[in-house]
A and B are shown apart, each in its own frame.
Chain A
């Protein structure tokens, strides 16, 4: 396979295929003033201004986007949510809340979300240690100028007691299509939960998993050192990757026609549909990505799938066509854009069904088109 996921030894690095992104976020509050949810409007405004003033001077924030939430349109806010730069909760804020987002979008600060300061570093691939190093440095720089609410016993004090201590949530976004297809995902989720880690959907807490994307993160923040937690989370993620890898292998050995079929259908529908919901599109793109990982599709690169994935999201779609669209219009526009993006990609490999399989009986009657 000719892509960046191929290592020097020629073997495909599965962790690059499975892990979409790694993120660490820290929650911090200013000492001596009420948390945003309880603060008076004037105090909130004051916290916003003082944090903004310090944050924009950071070396990492050269050329950053510095804005108050009331200066964004609804679509712009949604765009930031889809890029995982702000939370859905923060998108609902207006005057008195703001963002500082680095030019590369690696570092993002939400001011006056649930806490005075929520900062994150987000990078593609499995790189929890690196993102921790980035956000740790930003935090230390901010702390030179901001007096954080901190207690020696309880650590960083946060609005919600679930975040007190390190205030840290470390997470990775995983693409686990084979575990879903093999019906093993629930077992994995349960096992991960038992380790005190949470598995969530695409946009974090309370969101549904679509496109076979799952966010794995720590649930507790008190009584464990940041670096220890990151090591522990990293190890669990490597195990999940291993399970996904095994599930892919097992499916290709035992039920290859099912995989070929899923990938072929995804290609067929994405390449021909005229109305396409975002949910359906995401699930189909997930299958296309799996097809790419398994070398069943030629001429398609990961970058294009990622673009298709992002373009499928409502705000990105509307930004692309520079037009506000209703849900129905979006489904039509989405279908047309995705069709276009697949136009020059050849059909995926199909299987020869000369030897009948014991499962998926219906498949045998189909003519072989490869």
Chain B
């Protein structure tokens, strides 16, 4: 089997990732794997990177020199380490991260526990109203998985607004 990237050398490193029913596979030779910064094949954060979901396409081309205003972390740092610099990095690198998170996780939106201070403000009527709008749109577009997530979030917010924080 030839390397997916150079198409010259024999592929010796085979990565695959399964999320739900999505399977992504990539086969690389040692040199290309090294060039792509894969040192730990178990590290699935890098898979999206190699597959071109992060750091490719028009968004990434614009943001090649992107730097987090809060901590100074750059996109190049992320490519190298597979880790982010600080919480703000999630906003800074949002366009590149979005497809990566989508490939990596079950959903795109957090539906679990939230800190009490957030739960209180998050449960505000405006926030719920906004989510209800998003829900209506999701149903209209037949994005049912997302709709279910939004519905759950609204429910938890409504419960949280009434009693103690949602857990």
| A residues with CB within 8 A of B | 29, 31-35, 37-38, 114, 136, 139-140, 143-144, 147-157, 159-162, 164-166, 168, 193-194, 196, 205-206, 219-226
Contacts and interface: CB of A to CB of B under 8 A. Distances in A.
B55 to A, nearest CB: 13
A157 B101 CA distance: 12
Contacts of A168: 112
Interface pairs A-B: 10 shortest CB-CB: A223-B107, A155-B110, A149-B87, A222-B105, A223-B106, A38-B85, A157-B87, A166-B112, A34-B71, A34-B86
A230 to B, nearest CB: 11
6 contacts: A33-B86, A34-B71, A34-B85, A151-B110, A160-B82, A164-B105
Interface residues of B, number: 43
Nearest to B16: A193
Interface in B84-118: 84-87, 90-91, 97, 100-101, 104-118
B19 A114 contact: no
Contact of B81 (A34, A37, A156, A193): A37
A164 B85 contact: no
A162 B90 contact: no
Contacts of A114: 83
Contact of A165 (B71, B110, B122, B127): B110
B20 interface: yes
Given A161-B97, A161-B100, A196 B19 contact: yes
The residue in A29, A34, A155, A159 that gathers the most chain B C-beta atoms within 10 A of its C-beta is A34
A27 to B, nearest CB: 12
Given A38-B85, A154-B110, A222 B101 contact: yes
B62 to A, nearest CB: 20
Interface in B59-88: 70-71, 73, 77, 81-87
Given A152-B114, A194-B18, A222 B106 contact: yes
Contacts of A34: 70-71, 73, 85-86
A161 B106 contact: no
